[in-house]
Amino acid sequence: MKVEVLRLGHRIIRDQRVTTHVGLVARAFGANSMIFCGQRDEGVIETINKLVGLWGGGFEARYGGKNWKKIIRDWKEKKGAKVIHLTMYGEPLFEVVNSLRRVFNESDFLVVMGGEKVPKRLYKMADFNVSITNQPHSEIAALAVFLDHLFQGEELKKEFENVKIKVIPSSDKKLIKKKEKT
Ligand code: SAM
């Protein structure tokens, strides 16, 4: 099934790097797409799309507007789709991950993470509120750990399609293979 990531409360300039990194982590760790809400920011979309053009895969990033509630409501109307909110106040990941994986066999996931302040309403709208430790840290780290546990590390072996550039893993040097231009 598919994973879409929803990042709330984006602020131009201040959050550009974090929101871009949420997108890059989402892609690298096996999610299919990302939406961000808050302020419109073409820079984030351009950076992620440019990277996808070079490093491959079908990942898509888009701006979802300011109405995050509508995005979640629309998502929940899709058959079987579930909303997972990553929050330090949620149920510990290690306690819920097995049942989440069973749900994921039949449901697409919208994985939601906050920005500076998370609206209270989100806790009620989510199907699952999940914590990655109950300590405050970061949306980027929370997303990486969540996806890695959901996919049980299999996402680390993922090969991307339509690549223009690729790393050749090496123990002692930096090796990159570029596709010849036709
Ligand atoms: N203080 C904000 C609030 O109102 O909850 C949260 C700010 S935090 C920097 C930004 C986001 O990182 C959170 O909304 C959440 O998605 C994620 N996050 C931070 N710590 C987390 C944790 N321990 N478990 C899961 N997600 C976490």
**Ligand 1, residues at Cβ distance < 6 Å:** 86-88, 113-114, 117-118, 131-133, 135-139, 142
Ligand 1 centroid distance, CA of 132 (Å) = 9
Q: Where are the domains of the chain?
A: 3-178
Residue 182's pLDDT is what?
64
Ligand 1 centroid distance, CA of 137 (Å) = 6
This prediction's pTM: 0.96
Tens of pLDDT along the chain (182 residues)? 999 999 999 999 999 999 999 999 999 999 999 999 999 999 999 999 999 999 999 999 999 999 999 999 999 998 889 999 999 999 999 999 999 999 999 999 999 999 888 999 999 999 999 999 999 999 999 999 999 999 999 999 999 999 999 999 999 999 999 987 76
Q: What is the CA radius of gyration of the chain?
A: 17
Pick among 3.40.50.300, 3.40.50.720, 3.40.1280.10, 3.40.50.1820: CATH of 3-178: 3.40.1280.10
Residue 78's pLDDT is what?
86
Residue 116's pLDDT is what?
84
Ligand 1 centroid distance, CA of 19 (Å) = 13
Q: Which atom from ligand 1 is nearest to the alpha carbon of 136? A: 20
